[in-house]
Structure 1
């Protein structure tokens, strides 16, 4: 079977923007929950940095990065959609940060945070949606972008929890721990669903699928279950969950590349 070379710039782009987007989702959620108010600013800064660096990583995939404006001149392209979404996330996170510093009203701040969070969720899904194409039947399923989103969730929540544990000593993180537990379960389901749909079972594919399921799913879920019982170890546990989730997110995106087989090969295999 002929597989594609892993495109690391795209792996990093989708991994970083996914984690950044879901980190800001947690920031927006806490605008309503008020569990870790002092974590809002540093967590939003982290979300902005991850999204911006991820966006820059995508540009390095182009053979001529200087022609990025030409690539953005086609509104129907995946590159255009991704660039717009990343830009919207960064803009609304930046506005939110300014509003925090200037003491804007709660209502205005919440509205901006929710809009930014919506874009954060969208980029985690649409980064995978861009790869749906009939010429790559292993990719041509909505389970692929769904897996992109579901594997990004534990990473973003763990990232927020790590910042909250470091910057908001008074934070009450039980609800976010439950969210991490649920996100971990969804991460496992997202990985397994796409791996089964892709229909490949060679060693490398199985290895990436297993690593993704364990690291983006099982490990964060365990941390989510332990955190309410061991609040004094919140920093250690959340950093461990973030590290595992980050590696697992990369593994899921690598899985996509190693299971890819072009239509021409499938046709030849049937002869």
Structure 2
């Protein structure tokens, strides 16, 4: 099956945006990296919007876009993605607005909501592809692989913002275990997906890109961020490579041509 690059971009950016928002909330709960929170919330909003535009680009025709909008509350896998995209964008805006006010409690509450909605976003962008018609997608391991990818990329991006804004060393020591944990989750989830499909995947994309560079490389770089903040940039690059390779791999192991509206027609959820 041909790689659907607009959907690769959508799921990568939307997942990373959700995870970045989750890290904003986490840093608020931990009382760390205050300087990076609002810029990260703005960054999450940008990623969600750009990712949404990539998804719209895949729909190609105005009629398809209107059909998707009209059936957004069908609660199919695709509609849930769109709903969560909007919810996370609203939470990101709410966080920026409350952070500019005087109520620290309100900001923290919105941040906690962002943790829940952000993590959910990383999962649903993969869950929409789970279907019986695609044997290599029809496994719970696929959305968890997307979740791991989103957490690793979003966590690395939050660390990168911390490095760029030169946050205190104590903040790095407090946040880095969480970033490192996210990269470990990604490795475990990628291996689980490989196992689920019998490792019947392109060797270079899976083992070279997703596992070795994207996951093991990200773990190795993240382990040194607390000592050298510039390693955050390397962690981000590795995580992005891993996320792209995993998504490209998913399309290549699919059977037959499939696009968003082909899926909808099969499921009968959009009436097209």
Give the TM-score band, short-chain normalised: 0.7 to 0.9
Gaps of 5+ in 1: 263-271
Matched residue SS, 1:86 = helix
Unmatched runs of 5 consecutive residues or more in structure 2: 257-272
Offset at residue 240 of structure 1 (A): 1.1
Residues 1:138 and 2:136 are matched in the alignment: yes
Give 2:107's aligned residue.
109
- Give the Cα–Cα distance (whole angstroms) in 2 for the partners of residues 46 and 9 of structure 1: 20
| Cα displacement (A) at 1:72 | 2.5
Tell me whether 1:29 sits opposite 2:23 in the alignment. no
TM superposition score normalised by structure 2 = 0.88
What is residue 100 of structure 1 aligned with on the other side? Answer: 99
Question: What is the aligned partner in structure 1 of residue 240 from structure 2?
Answer: 246
SS of aligned partner of 1:59: helix
Residue 6 of structure 1 pairs with residue 25 of structure 2: no
- Match of residue 190 from structure 2: 191
User: Post-superposition, which runs of at least 4 consecutive aligned residues in structure 1 deviate over 2 A?
Assistant: 76-79, 168-171, 199-202
The residue that corresponds to 1:84 in the other structure is: 83
State whether residues 37 and 168 of structure 1, in contact with CA within 8 Å, keep that contact through their aligned partners in structure 2: no
* Corresponding position: 1:20 with 2:17: yes
Deviation at 1:175, TM superposition (A): 2.7
Deviates more, 1:213-222 or 1:78-87: 213-222
Matched, 1:258 2:252: yes
TM-score in terms of structure 1 length: 0.88
Alignment pair present for 1:223 and 2:218: no
Determine helix, strand or coil for the equivalent of 1:72. Answer: helix
The RMSD of aligned alpha carbons is 1.6
| 8 A contact 2:159–2:179 mirrored in 1 | no
